[in-house]
Amino acid sequence: MENPPITIASKSKAEKRKKSSLWGQVLQRFLKKKIALVGLGFLLFIFLFSLIGPFFSPYATEGVNPTQINLPPSSEHWLGTDKLGRDVLTRLMFAGRISLTVGVGAMVLSVTFGALLGILAGYYKGIIDQIVMRIADILMTLPSLPLLFIMAAVMSEWKVPTEQRLYIVMLMLSLVGWPGLARLVRSQVLSLRERQFIQATDALGLRDHRKLLNHLLPNIVPLLIVSGTLSIGGAILSESVLSYFGLGVVPPTASWGNMINAANSLIDFQKRPWLWIPPGIAIFLTVISINLLGDGLRDAIDPNMKRR
Amino acid sequence: MSKALPLLEVKNLKKYYGDSSNLFRRNPEVVKAVDGVSFTIEKGETFGLVGESGSGKSTIGKSILRLSSITDGEVLYKGQNIHKLSKKDMRNLRPKLQFIFQDPYSSLNPRIRIGDAIGEALIDHGLVDKSEIRERVLEVLDICGLAPYQIDRYPHEFSGGQRQRIGIARAIILNPDFIVADEPVSALDVSIQAQIINLFSDLQKERDITFLFISHDLSVVEHLCSKIGVLYLGTMMELGSRDQLYGNPLHPYTKALLSAVPVPDPTLKRERIIIKGDIPNPADPPKGCKFHTRCPIATDMCRIEVPEFREVEANHFVACHFA
Ligand SMILES: Nc1ncnc2c1ncn2[C@@H]1O[C@H](COP(=O)(O)OP(=O)(O)OP(=O)(O)O)[C@@H](O)[C@H]1O
Ligand code: SF4
Ligand SMILES: [Mg+2]
């Protein structure tokens, strides 16, 4: 049996500081992951590009400009213009805002639902567990894209105003996103329950909310961070697919998905690649970067955590 | 005989683990982890529960504090049946009944500073004003031999022995009447074991706490306990005062366990008895006397008839046909 030395005081200051917080250790491990840092760098770039970029653009995202239709890239319009004469680069930035918002928003919602329901199911077991997990099973066995298509079709049928579709899409994505997360959280909670420090909370007679929020939740936060990060990529991809088919975010609001859709005629595809290549690259880079970041976070947070 | 009510009375306690079959293993058999155990603990006494791994010691400790459910029997604390209390009454009683865990490495939440871990139950039960918490935590840290500056540290910054001190501090800050200490030193280095055992004996002297001290090691129990029960496969084999058990062990199992304990005085040589074989599968314990597969003096009768747990001398009980 290995026993660390008793006298902490004799250790050097630097070592003490380093050891003092678990998150400090995580950060140190993370900074060693070059690929994850590249992913983080790309993401930061895309975020800044979408959030701040529009302020440096002389063009508006909406409105028709009949004199400037379908221009190829030039020094004035770096990525050319589309069939309504709008600057593609500017639209790409605004679309980024929407796509990132949907991705992050859907992640926040599914992490919230997934964590809450997973903790309740894992902690209380019994009937709550049965109900939550059966619903999760059903949602997980249904293939998510067709499900999203049906929901989106219903949304279109109900004539949801364009501005609100964004939020409905987030909700839809989180509806298919939470079951997987709830399962992960539940199984983590089930294994935590067997740990002595959770049994200790029983022995101390702590109230349920304290057990759940102070003891269980902090121990699943790493899982939530990693799964949450990775789920943003999936959400952005699903949103793009929906929007490409005109079922997600619809024009005039730009999203990367519906920008690609604008190029679905053969002529546009062959002759005007500036219409679809930039949003395609944006989606691709964003999703790849998120996955690299998520993998790096997972390895940094818990070197022993199993790969999915 | 009008004795005062004992602090804790365990009557015919049974805990069966039923469906232990799972995806990988079909096992319809029932494990009788605790099979009808009875004993009483008087106020101020330290009761030692001894037995090999798997004999059901932790199960008894957890059942007594209602940290796990029971199959049958009663646990009476000051006359009230713990397993019949309402959730609210049980919570109010919790601070009085504390548990110290076997594994100091898993009994502290890695994400909570030890000051918070020790103080949070006081806050949660509203026992102390928020402004006094820190003071109270520092006080028990001192009692348990930890330094004040360690209050804001995380568990991973401590050694095993220190963590066990933290576990003890977390329990005694609530001023409990009764503590179950489940092999509190077995995970520690021998050199550190002695320090923790000394801490327990200080607590016995300075505070009015009754202990159930669980151990697989009779030499540890000898230092601390006034009354000792010897457990084998979920059944109590012998029960008596320390002097009765060490001076006049009656059960062959107790004798064998004692013969393995090193004696400080070499002139007092005990006859060394080796127990043969392994512990039987708890899911399929031997018929008759559960110990007969390993007993050096077992007879045919032992294989058929379960020996009665009888009082051989005052307060000295034994389950053996030939004791
Ligand atoms: N949750 C459980 N489910 C099924 N069987 C269990 C469970 N907990 C304990 N057991 C079984 O009950 C018996 C007694 O276990 P217990 O943990 O009480 O033993 P112990 O005396 O504390 O042993 P140790 O010295 O190893 O801690 C063992 O056979 C064990 O396999
Ligand atoms: S009853 Fe028989 S087998 Fe059991 S301990 Fe006594 S002598 Fe040994
Ligand atoms: Mg045990």
Instruction: Indicate if ligand 2 lies below 6 Å from the C-beta of B180.
Output: no
Q: Is residue B48 part of a domain?
A: no
Domain hosting B290: range is 226-322
Number of structural domains (chain B) is 1
| Residue located via tokens 């249904």 | A142
Query: pLDDT digit string (tens) for B215-255?
Result: 988 888 888 999 999 999 999 999 999 999 999 999 999 99
CB contact under 8 A, B91 and A218: no
Q: Is residue B83 part of a domain?
A: no
ipTM of the complex, rounded to two decimals? 0.86
| Residue located via tokens 């209050």 | B151
Q: Is residue B291 part of a domain?
A: yes
User: Of the candidates B156, B231, B161, which has an alpha carbon nearest to the alpha carbon of residue B191?
Assistant: B161
pLDDT along chain A (308 residues), means of 10: 40 48 81 89 92 80 74 77 80 90 93 94 90 91 84 80 83 90 94 90 93 91 90 90 83 85 75 85 92 89 58
Pairing mode, strands B235-241 and B316-319: antiparallel
- Which two three-digit tokens encode residue A226? 């990693």
* CA A226 to the chain's CA centroid: 10
Q: Is the peptide bond preceding residue A252 cis, with omega within 30 degrees of 0?
A: yes
Q: In this structure, which residue's CA is closest to atom 10 in ligand 1?
A: B33
Q: Is residue B243 part of a domain?
A: yes
**How far apart, in whole angstroms, are the C-alpha atoms of residue B11 and residue B308?**
16
- Domains in chain A, please, with CATH? 25-307 (1.10.3720.10)
At A66, which amino acid appears? P
Q: Is residue B212 part of a domain?
A: no
Q: Order of strands, edge to edge, in the sheet holding B72-77?
A: B31-41, B8-17, B72-77, B80-81
Confirm or reject contact between B121 and chain A (CB < 8 A): yes
Question: Could you say which of A19, A203, A214 has the minimum Cβ distance to residue B157?
Answer: A19
* CA B111 to the chain's CA centroid: 28
Q: Is residue B298 part of a domain?
A: yes
CB contact under 8 A, A3 and B192: yes
- Helical (H) or strand (E) element with A154: helix A144-157
Under a CB-based contact definition with an 8 Å cutoff, are residues B208 and B46 in contact? Answer: no
Maximum Cα–Cα distance across chain B: 68
* The predicted structure's pLDDT at residue B139: 93
**Beta pairing partners, B40:** B9
Global model pTM greater than 0.90 = no
Collect all residues with Cβ–Cβ distance below 8 Å to A87 and sequence separation of at least 6.
Answer: A57, A59, A77, A79, A81
* The predicted structure's pLDDT at residue B34: 92
Q: CA geometry: angle at B320 spanning B318 and B321, to 5°?
A: 130
3-class SS at B81?
A: strand
Q: Is residue B317 part of a domain?
A: yes
Query: pLDDT digit string (tens) for A198-243?
Result: 999 999 999 999 999 999 998 999 899 999 999 999 899 988 888 8
DSSP annotation string for B104-155: TTTSS-TTS-HHHHHHHHHHHTT-S-GGGHHHHHHHHHHHTT--GGGGG--G
pLDDT band at B65 (very low <50, low <70, confident <90, very high): very high
Instruction: Indicate if ligand 2 lies below 6 Å from the C-beta of B297.
Output: yes
3-class SS at B8?
A: strand
* The predicted structure's pLDDT at residue B290: 92
